[in-house]
């Protein structure tokens, strides 16, 4: 009888409960609901989670810090957002329903958390860095008027190695140097699988792949890729895949590493447009067992960018910016 009375009371409260639920299963306690066939987090609840507020004006949804600074700006139905000043391609477009904004659960946990909350990142001490100059040997990569992608990526990789060799980071008050390795140091043909297995064999703690882009239009700019989380569409194929690879265990750290590097590139290489952060299931990003990024350093199909990439001074500036980003990442995730 008591049990029956209890269940009537329980049923009464269940009926009163709003359709959106505060997810008791989740450690985040962020309200969510199903939209467009997938789970979305309510922006009002997300704002509370990050101790900020949200507003909507001129069809832009914003997360705003206590000091008035916009932390993130989203447009309903558009996948490009601006988070901490960087353009970011979201996993799914944000939603807008009955005067409320929503962000996909995949972007709450896989995009906003790693970019806005350092405590969501895995702590480690990434001192062993693998630099991967894209293409090489029988694979020339993209072609420009002045040369091939494989030659430019190698020149930039050597510049980055020199730059990182000169850097130190502090561990327990001691200055410590990075250990740097390159997947190739000459014009060698190397499969994508070999690049990843080289990194894993050496127990690489950070993997940086360097490429240059090409397009038939006059498009230009620098962009940094990290691994697409499971269940989200890859930028290069548009395909949604649920399976995980070894790289997925570092997915959030990889996105944060990409943001540190891209932020630094935007700051130091001001003459080149900032194309921001994108996610793709590139083989090297999937298969290395550490945080990994792939930097598209510019378009060699664009005359100005090809000329820049062929300039030693420009490459030095770019290498210095990438090294700054790596040091910034190290300082925020180091545990030793
Ligand atoms: Zn390439």
CB 142 within 8 A of CB 148: yes
- How many angstroms separate the alpha carbon of residue 265 from the centre of ligand 1? 18
Calpha distance 142→313 (Å, rounded): 22
Q: Angle at CA 299, nearest 5°, toward 210 and 328? A: 45
Give the pLDDT of residue 6: 44
Q: What is the pTM of this model?
A: 0.91
Distance of CA 48 to the CA centre of its chain: 24
Lowest mean pLDDT among 23-37, 133-147, 165-179, 223-237: 23-37
Tokens coding 217: 């239009």
- How many angstroms separate the alpha carbon of residue 302 from the centre of ligand 1? 15
CB 134 within 8 A of CB 149: yes
Q: Angle at CA 159, nearest 5°, toward 130 and 133? A: 45
- How many angstroms separate the alpha carbon of residue 73 from the centre of ligand 1? 31
What is the rounded average pLDDT of the residues 196-216? 97
Residue 190: partners with Cβ closer than 8 Å, 6 or more residues away: 136, 137, 183, 184
CB 274 within 8 A of CB 262: yes
- How many angstroms separate the alpha carbon of residue 171 from the centre of ligand 1? 35
Identify the band that residue 311 occupies on the pLDDT scale cut at 50, 70 and 90: very high
- How many angstroms separate the alpha carbon of residue 50 from the centre of ligand 1? 37
- How many angstroms separate the alpha carbon of residue 211 from the centre of ligand 1? 4
Architecture of the structural domain at 128-333: 3-Layer(aba) Sandwich (3.40)
CA dihedral 237, 238, 239, 241 (to 10 degrees): 100
Give the pLDDT confidence of 95-148 residue by residue, as tens digits.
999 889 999 999 999 999 999 998 889 999 999 999 999 999 999 999 999 999
Q: How many CB atoms lie within 10 A of CB 134?
A: 28
**Nearest one of 45, 103, 106 to 78, comparing CA atoms:** 103
Residues less than 5 Å from ion ligand 1, measured at CB = 134, 141, 211
Residue 146's SS3 state is coil
Name which CATH class applies to 18-120.
alpha beta
Give the pLDDT confidence of 140-179 residue by residue, as tens digits.
999 999 999 999 999 999 999 999 999 999 998 899 999 9
Find tokens 């697409």 and name the residue.
228
- How many angstroms separate the alpha carbon of residue 18 from the centre of ligand 1? 50
- How many angstroms separate the alpha carbon of residue 127 from the centre of ligand 1? 26
Lowest mean pLDDT among 4-8, 102-106, 311-315: 4-8
- How many angstroms separate the alpha carbon of residue 241 from the centre of ligand 1? 23
- Domain assignments of the chain as residue spans, ordered by start: 18-120, 128-333
């Amino acid at each position: 009888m008591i049990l029956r009375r209890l269940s009537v009371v329980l049923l009464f409260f269940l009926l009163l409960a709003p359709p959106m639920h505060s997810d008791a299963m989740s450690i985040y306690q962020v309200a969510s609901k199903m939209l467009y066939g997938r789970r979305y987090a309510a922006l009002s609840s997300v704002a509370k989670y990050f101790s900020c507020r949200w507003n909507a004006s001129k069809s832009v949804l914003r997360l705003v810090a206590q000091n008035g600074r916009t932390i993130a700006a989203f447009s309903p139905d558009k996948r490009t957002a601006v988070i901490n000043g960087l353009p970011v391609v979201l996993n799914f477009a944000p939603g807008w329903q009955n005067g409320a904004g929503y962000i996909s659960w995949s972007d709450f946990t896989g995009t906003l958390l790693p970019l806005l909350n350092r405590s969501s990142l895995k702590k480690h001490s990434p001192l062993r860095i693998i630099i991967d100059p894209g293409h090489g040997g029988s694979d020339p990569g993209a072609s420009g008027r002045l040369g091939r992608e494989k030659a430019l990526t190698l020149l930039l990789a050597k510049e980055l190695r020199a730059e990182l060799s000169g850097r130190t980071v502090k561990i327990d008050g001691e200055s410590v140097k990075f250990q740097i390795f390159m997947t190739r140091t000459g014009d060698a043909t190397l499969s994508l699988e070999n690049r990843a297995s080289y990194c894993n064999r050496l127990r690489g703690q950070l993997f940086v792949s360097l490429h240059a882009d090409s397009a038939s239009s006059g498009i230009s700019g620098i962009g940094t890729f990290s691994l697409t989380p499971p269940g989200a569409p890859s930028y290069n194929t548009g395909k949604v895949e649920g399976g995980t690879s070894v790289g997925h265990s570092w997915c959030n750290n990889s996105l944060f590493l990409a943001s540190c590097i891209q932020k630094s590139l935007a700051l130091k290489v001001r003459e080149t447009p900032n194309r921001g952060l994108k996610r793709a299931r590139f083989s090297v990003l999937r298969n290395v067992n550490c945080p990994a990024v792939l930097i598209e350093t510019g378009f060699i199909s664009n005359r100005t960018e090809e000329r820049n990439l062929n300039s030693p001074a420009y490459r030095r500036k770019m290498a210095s910016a990438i090294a700054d980003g790596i040091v910034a990442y190290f300082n925020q995730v180091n545990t030793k």
